Amino acid sequence: MKTKQRRAPYSLLLIATLGFALLAIPFIGLSQRTPWSSFAQIATEETVLRSISLSMVIATSSAGICVFLGIPLGWVLARAEFRGLRIMRAIVLLPMVLPPVAGGTALLFALGRKGFVGEKLDSWFGVTLPFTTAGAIIAATFVALPFFVLTIESAAAELDSKLEEASLNLGATPIRTFFTVTLPMLRNSILAGIALSWARALGEFGATITFAGDNPGQTRTLPLQLFVALETNPERAMVIGMLMVLISLSVLVTLRGNWLGRQ
């Protein structure tokens, strides 16, 4: 094994191997139990296909919202200075550490039909979010956004601000500087953040079932289908599980790996 520090201490390598094994072995177990001979047949069942396309729609919309909201938010966390920044950063990271079910409950109390925001949405615009695809997108975004923001924040904090200062000194407005100088420099991190938040949104379960319920064709994404299958048809559950592993793995390997410029 070659590492940048030519001779890595063996004890570290050993522990690193143990850590990797803890993360990798469960997937070996899953692939062993996966009924590969009927994989293609189960993966193309109508109910599974419907969940796949729904999951794609939800994960992609969610990643899109993450880009729109997450770039400014990450930038503010990295660059702005104001009282309460610390608490703001903690709140942004909260969905990463909270059980998603707690997040889903919180969403219900805020955006549900009787929630303090949801009530207004219902009475003013006739919009209700629970049990709809829009609700599932919000639930997925709630858990995926912190991953995106974190990627942008750390990249923006490391950015050399000389180029931005030069742009400002040459008379460009701050917003023009942001779009023509800052954003291009953040390009790789943005793409990596998209991959990470897309994959996280794809795997969302707890917040979705709590806030958006289980509504076939509307909110029954792959993870929800997996949950039902686990209790009714374990073979189908293994196929769906493996399917999610393969999709997420390929997204993370090809997209995230490339854009972060690491081998």
Which spans of this chain sit near other proteins (rule: CB under 8 A)? 9, 11, 15, 108, 112-114, 128, 130-131, 209, 213-216, 219, 227-228, 230-232, 234
CA 245 to chain centre: 14
Q: Give the CA dihedral 238, 244, 245, 246, nearest 10 degrees.
A: 110
How far from 60 is each of 54, 125, 142, CA to CA, in Å? 10, 25, 14
Q: For residues 128 and 248, which CB has a smaller minimum distance to other proteins in the complex? A: 128
Taking the complex as a whole, how short is the minimal distance between the CB of residue 12 and other proteins, in angstroms?
A: 9
Q: For residues 79 and 122, which CB has a smaller minimum distance to other proteins in the complex? A: 122
Helices 85-97 and 133-158: crossing angle in degrees, nearest 10, is 130
Q: How far apart are CA 90 and CA 105, in angstroms?
A: 19
Give the contacts of 105 (CB within 8 A, at least 6 positions apart). 210, 211
Q: For residues 98 and 230, which CB has a smaller minimum distance to other proteins in the complex? A: 230
Taking the complex as a whole, how short is the minimal distance between the CB of residue 132 and other proteins, in angstroms?
A: 9
Helices 10-33 and 234-250: crossing angle in degrees, nearest 10, is 140
Taking the complex as a whole, how short is the minimal distance between the CB of residue 112 and other proteins, in angstroms?
A: 5
Taking the complex as a whole, how short is the minimal distance between the CB of residue 124 and other proteins, in angstroms?
A: 18
Taking the complex as a whole, how short is the minimal distance between the CB of residue 179 and other proteins, in angstroms?
A: 41
User: Could you tell me the sign of the dihedral formed by the alpha carbons of 190, 196, 199, 203, in that order?
Assistant: negative
How far from 78 is each of 48, 75, 93, 142, 165, CA to CA, in Å? 41, 5, 14, 20, 16
Q: For residues 44 and 233, which CB has a smaller minimum distance to other proteins in the complex? A: 233
Give the contacts of 7 (CB within 8 A, at least 6 positions apart). none
Q: For residues 119 and 185, which CB has a smaller minimum distance to other proteins in the complex? A: 119
Q: Is-contact 156 75, C-beta < 8 A?
A: yes
Q: For residues 193 and 213, which CB has a smaller minimum distance to other proteins in the complex? A: 213
The pair of three-digit structure tokens given for residue 100, joined into one six-digit string: 């998603």
Taking the complex as a whole, how short is the minimal distance between the CB of residue 213 and other proteins, in angstroms?
A: 3
Q: For residues 74 and 206, which CB has a smaller minimum distance to other proteins in the complex? A: 206
Taking the complex as a whole, how short is the minimal distance between the CB of residue 61 and other proteins, in angstroms?
A: 20
